[in-house]
Amino acid sequence: MFVLGALFLFVGRVAAQVPLYLVDSETSAASVDFRFSGTRSFSDDRLHGQMATKTPGFWDKVLFWRNRAYPFDPVELQKDVVRLRRFYNRNGFLYPEIDYTGSVLDTSKNVIDVILDINEGPPLIIQDVGYYAPDGDYAVSQFPGDRRRDWDNFSNEIAIRIGDRYSEFQRISIQSKVLNWLQENGYAFARVEASAVVDSLYNVADVRFVVDAGPLTVVDTIAVQGNELVAAKVVRREVPFRVGQPYSRSRLIRGQEEIFGLNLFRVVLADVPEQPRDSSVTVRYRVRESKFKIVSGQAGYSLVQGAGFEAGWQNRNLFGGARNISIGLTSNTGIGARRTGNNLTPWSLAAKVSVSQPYFLTRRTSAVVAPFISFERDPRLRESDRFYGMNRREVGLESTLVYQFARLRTITGRYVFNRTLDITQPIDDDPSVLRDPYTKSIVSLTGNLGRTNDLLKPTSGFEVQPFFEVGSGAIGSEIEYVKFGSSVTAYLPLSDKLNITTRVFAGRAEPLGRSERILAGASGTLDSLKFENRFDNVFLEAGGANDVRGWAESFLGAKLPRPSLSSDGSVSGYVYEPVGGKAKWTASVTLLYPFPWLGSQWRLATFVDAGQLSAEEVELPDGSITFRDDGKIDFARWRVGVGSGVRYATPFGFVRLDVGYKVNPSENDLRDPQDAFEGIDNPRNLRRFRVHLSLSQTF
């Protein structure tokens, strides 16, 4: 039983619509609701966040067999009332009235519905705001020349407006902004104090900030502490300022981020230690080294590629200098993947040795060299009789330069040289294996640009991701082309709970020289087929969870129905082979909004996607179908998908489940590959729907 005094106190405070004296140690809290008389300034979520009394959530009701109990404690409820009053006091309401006299006890189930009645009362209004120097003069008197003008502009931008509701959070926020501005503009020893004089009779407050800027400072020492195996000069070279330059807090913190980005330290702290308050300043970075040699493993799953894993070993301080060497093995097994178009599921196995050097010529540039070998079962290629259906092997070297101008905002140059072998069955009845070895020499440039409020789960801002790549015989490539394009994504907050994400992509891939002539049939059918396979990863494709939903990955656009051959050359079934296109555009609009009864990490989504590839089907006089790709976009042939989905926020981004619906599918979108190959018109409307699931990471 509860303490008798507490029970009497509770019963005394709760008027009896029901016999609340029957509350005992077995009573559970069923719900906590709020009723307001007058104004309402805060959401239920914020108020629940101030309380210790907990009640069943959505999943407790769905997973009812767990029978999780939420004991009710009347003493804790009284403490919750005190917490709520203090919360309202901090947010500018001096006299809130809060009671729980409307709470209801269900004696048959021994559960209580707690109902809190809240009258916020009149808000505390800001009457005056002032910034003063320690000597009582106005704060602006401390700043010379241009800094006086800069201070005026800054203080006007952040000023609390007279007539606004006062809150402690607002006062502390302004105090923090002023201190940050001073430290950003060279005042390393600045101090800011804030106070509020409250007239409780008239519900007004005068807010006062005392600004002690101190002397302008320059950096005279960059101290490094705690390093053992990593040289201090390796740490200092990541700092974006040098001795003799003006102090800046943002650059101090950016140095902390850059040092932590070396992946050599478990802890990196940046501060200004105790020292005389004069025109020079010592800044300090304290570090704690992590283990340099580590073994790692990850696993993930998607409907497109199935289960995947990654395993690796790395030494993050090879020969000193923060060099990183890693040996990795990655595979997408195809296990659990959907067989799109009746094709075999994708499979890949790759091994790579990667050596990276940070601070390559400049602090913001890093270099990576990585030899690799990979084996792949690509559903877009014809079948092979090799192990696990492997139809492509690549051996090569990848060299990369990365210039990072902001956190996760980069420009990347890459050169890849490899020897590729495609192994497939031929198009005719000859069961012999078709081998096509060739060399790829590719130069590419990509960018990750933009500005968002959150790098993993943005709700406002924009991102631009342009790309350009070229393969040329002049640099030893047997596949020649130029490919370029860009995606632009905008995140637009409509309110605290509603967000719109829009995405537009446009790109083009153009074969060049000998590749263009052979693809056009200048060297016969067999060579044309070989080069068609070579361009599977070059021509643009559309469809999938991150593109136009409702269509499978790569399957929006023209597709070739063809027989699937077994190792002896016999027909084992029929599949679709996506044709791709020289030109592509897509656009998407997604509305995100709260999932009722669930927490803020859950979101619902409604979307409209559209897109088109330039390749199209052409019917010949004999009734057969061929494909034409003049690289032109005809908006009359665009495809549209609509649907809804669920998002769950994790520390690594969203887990997404979407159901897409094809609004205007092509004939082959709704037909089985064998029906399409044999010319049978037998549409299946269930093919209009597509489920897209992205869970954790695939490789």
Please report the DSSP string for 244-268 in residue order: TSBP-HHHHHHHHHHHHTTS-EEEE
Q: Tokens 């393969």 correspond to what residue?
A: 471
What does the alpha-carbon distance between residue 124 and residue 126 come to, in Å, rounded to a whole number? Answer: 7
- pLDDT band of 117, cuts 50, 70, 90: very high
- 676-690 pLDDT, tens per residue? 888 888 899 999 999
Cross-strand pairs, 627: 617
CATH T-level topology, domain 4-119: Ubiquitin-like (UB roll) (3.10.20)
> Residue 64's pLDDT band (boundaries 50, 70, 90)?
low
- CB-CB contact of 642 with 663 (8 Å): yes
Please check whether residue 507 is in contact with residue 486, taking contact to mean a CB–CB distance below 8 angstroms. yes
What is the model's pLDDT at position 618? Answer: 78
Looking at 14-18, 45-49, 375-379, 594-598, which range is the least confident one?
A: 14-18
CATH architecture for segment(s) 125-212: Roll (3.10)
In this predicted structure, the answer to whether residue 425 has a pLDDT above a threshold of 80 is: no
Instruction: Judge whether residue 427 has pLDDT over 60.
Output: no
Q: Which of 301, 299, 304 is nearest to 338 (CA)?
A: 304
Taking 80 as the threshold, does the pLDDT of residue 647 lie above it? yes
Token digits of residue 92: 């500018």
Question: For the stretch 333-352, what's the b/e string if a residue is b when 16 or more beta carbons lie within 10 angstroms of its beta carbon?
Answer: bbeebbebbebbbbbbbbeb
Cα distances from 502 to residues 106, 326, 641, in angstroms, run: 49, 37, 14
Cα–Cα dist 144/146, whole Å: 6
What is the pLDDT, as a whole number, of residue 385? 78
Residue 225 has pLDDT above 80, yes or no: yes
Are the beta carbons of 612 and 632 closer than 8 angstroms? Answer: no
Place 14 in a pLDDT band, splitting at 50, 70 and 90: very low
Using CA atoms, how far residue 567 sits from 208, 242, 420, 426, 574, in Å, is 84, 67, 22, 11, 15
> What's the CA gap between 280 and 294, in Å, rounded?
41
**E strands of 17-144, at which residues?**
28-36, 97-99, 104-106, 111-119, 125-132
Higher pLDDT, 432 or 378: 378
Do the beta carbons of residue 331 and residue 309 sit within 8 Å?
Answer: yes
Q: Which pair of structure tokens corresponds to residue 62?
A: 């769905």
**Angstrom distance (rounded) from CA 425 to CA 661:** 35
How confident is the model at residue 16, as a pLDDT? 38
> Taking a C-beta distance cutoff of 8 angstroms, is the pair 550, 690 a contact?
yes
Residue with token string 């300034």 = 41
Instruction: State the pairing for strand pair 125-132/204-212.
Output: parallel
Task: Quote the pLDDT of residue 110.
Answer: 86
CATH architecture of the domain covering 218-289: Roll (3.10)
> Whats the size of the chain, residue-wise?
699
Looking at per-residue pLDDT, the higher value among 662 and 15 belongs to 662
| pLDDT higher than 50, residue 18 | no
| Average pLDDT in the chain | 87
Q: What is the pLDDT of residues 310-356, one digit of tens each?
A: 999 999 888 878 899 999 999 999 888 888 877 888 899 999 999 99
DSSP 75: H
DSSP category for residue 159: P
480-523, pLDDT tens digit by residue? 999 999 999 999 999 878 999 999 999 999 999 999 999 988 88
pLDDT digits (tens, 9 = 90+) for 238-280: 999 999 999 999 999 999 998 998 889 999 999 999 999 999 9
Task: Grade residue 697 by pLDDT with cuts at 50, 70 and 90.
Answer: very low
pLDDT digits (tens, 9 = 90+) for 435-472: 889 999 999 999 999 998 877 778 899 999 999 999 99
Q: Is the pLDDT of residue 20 over 70?
A: no
User: Which pLDDT band holds residue 567 (cuts at 50, 70, 90)?
Assistant: low
- Percent of the chain scoring above 90 in pLDDT: 50
Predicted local confidence at residue 11, as pLDDT: 37
Average pLDDT over residues 157-166: 78
The most distant pair of C-alpha atoms in the chain lies apart, rounded to whole Å, by: 98
CA 440 to each of CA 74, 393, 418, 475, 553: distance values in angstroms, whole numbers, following the listed order: 73, 12, 5, 9, 25
DSSP letter for 309, please.
Answer: E
